[in-house]
Amino acid sequence: MLELVNVTKTFNISGNKEDERTALDHINLQIEPGEFVTIIGGNGSGKSTTLNIVAGSLIPDSGKILLNGRDITKIPEYKRAAYFGRVFQDPMKGTAGDMSVLENMEVAFLRGRNHSPIKWGFKEKDKKFFIEELKRFDLGLEDRLNQKVGVMSGGQRQALTLLMATMRNKPTIKMMRRDYILFSGLPEEEARKEFDSFYDEKKLVLDEKLKTASSKEEKQRYKNEFEETIRNKFDLTKQILLLDEHTAALDPKTAKKVLELTDKIVRENQMTTLMVTHNMKDALTYGDRLIMFHLGHIILDVKGEEKKKLAVDDLLKMFEEADKKAESK
């Protein structure tokens, strides 16, 4: 579960008190695992700031961000990246234009891993997986694997970024241990002890089993089972997808395609998703919860049946009312 507790963020570029602009004013928000949340709001309402704070590109002035109960407020952006996939509004921002489709995917696949200075970056066995992924979501890029991303259209780049943001290599045991110690809100020593004792216990069982195993395949199966047990216990975080108006720069037809792709990927992987959009229709069509921001406050938070009943006109009305209220203050 992702939680924002009392998060406040103020921007002040010039340094003068009167130029201060409150982007988020004591925001409290809880997002359940697997929830697909759409976020709307006017300019400067705080919707993008929320995403940036969750991802770690911005640090809140006060308040906390909790991931499965773990405080991640102070963890730098690049370390959080293992858990958050991001797609930006600008199609140029999500991919490296001078690298090929495969290279870009490989970089994304290494997200959250230590980048080895010795191991060859591009692996043949990953290529197969990448091609399968490209085919699965029908991106039409299977034949353009070695093409530089820079020559592709905005829509294609955005679709690729989306795919890159949602795939990740399974974490190794070493990685899980590192991340558990880092992210588990528990005192470091305690987290380490918990992980190691569980690991040792299961390892003993594995060793016993390996002794009785007769064939190579059986041994491999036991090893896989062992890894799976560890993963089930410690890799609690399914990835969270952060979409920041990711279709705003595309033409309507392409935007629709990318949105449908988004929906498909999110549903298939059951990803927790935060999608900022300025298109109210999209916000109503997609997702199972809708949040509306206004001047740093959440003024609407609906899910399920209640959300289905809403129409664009209702949302517009709420916008206007909120504006009037703000003005009368």
Partner 1 sequence: MPYIISVILNILTSGLPCCLLALGIFITYRLLDFADLTAEGSFLIGGSFAIALIRLQVDPFLATLVATIGGALCGYLTSVFYTKLRIPKLLSGIITMTLTASIAMLILGMTKNGSIFTNNVTLSSSDYTIYSVFYYGDPMYRPLIKTGIMLGIVVLVFIVIYFFFGTEYGMAIRATGMNEEMGRAQGINTKRASIIALVVSNALIGLSGAMFCQDLRSCDIKVSSGFLVVGLASILIGESIFGKRSFKNRLISIGLGAIVYFIIITVAIELGFPTQLKNLLYAILIAIALSIPLIKLLISNAKKKKESKQYA
- Binding site residues, partner 1, CB under 8 A: 55, 57, 76-79, 81-82, 84, 86, 88, 92-99, 103-104, 106-108, 110-113, 115-122, 164-165
Q: What is the largest CA-CA distance in the chain?
A: 79
Min separation Cβ 180 and partner 1, Å: 17
Rg (CA), the chain: 22
Min separation Cβ 57 and partner 1, Å: 7
Distance of CA 52 to the CA centre of its chain: 11
Backbone angles phi, psi at 220, to 5 degrees: -60, -40
Element (H, E) at 260: helix 252-269
Q: ∠ CA 154-157-161 to the nearest 5 degrees?
A: 135
Min separation Cβ 176 and partner 1, Å: 15
The Cα-based distances of 46 to 10, 84, 283, 293 in angstroms read 10, 19, 16, 7
Contact 89, 278 (CB under 8 A): no
The Cα-based distances of 108 to 26, 96, 101 in angstroms read 34, 11, 11
Q: ∠ CA 66-288-35 to the nearest 5 degrees?
A: 30
Backbone angles phi, psi at 276, to 5 degrees: -85, 135
- Pick between residue 90 and residue 263 the one whose CB is nearest to partner 1: 90
Contact 85, 241 (CB under 8 A): yes
